[in-house]
Amino acid sequence: MRGLSLFLAVSSLPLLSGCLARAAVDVVTAPVRVASSAVDLATTSQSERDEKRGREMRKREEELGKLERRHEKQRKECDEGDRGACDDARQTYAEMQEIMPYVPLDPPERDD
């Protein structure tokens, strides 16, 4: 019986050494993996910056569209004689002027 257990112990040594070596590699490379993950989280890729810029541009375009619709409504009410609507239309137009420099122009259509 003792011989069998000794045989099993000796024959399993190569298997255990592989497990121990793997564990040692995992322990050694863990700080590198953690550091690279932290760097990935801390940095922003070009595509992420492009996506963020696109979202911001769409948000400004939507806001400008809302202001244009509100301004048109206020201008019609002003034309009908509502003095308060005239003041509101001027204020809305000023808000539109603040946003316009940050909204890109559509490229002109080409006639091919």
The 10s digit of each residue's pLDDT in 14-30 is 665 556 556 656 666 76
Contact 64, 96 (CB under 8 A): yes
In a domain, residue 90? The reply is yes
Is the pLDDT at 39 greater than 70? The verdict is no
Tell me the range of 35-39, 91-95, 99-103, 108-112 where mean pLDDT is highest: 91-95
- Number of structural domains in the chain: 1
Q: Which domain holds residue 65?
A: 46-100
The 10s digit of each residue's pLDDT in 68-84 is 999 999 999 999 999 99
State the amino acid at position 2 in one-letter form: R
In a domain, residue 109? The reply is no
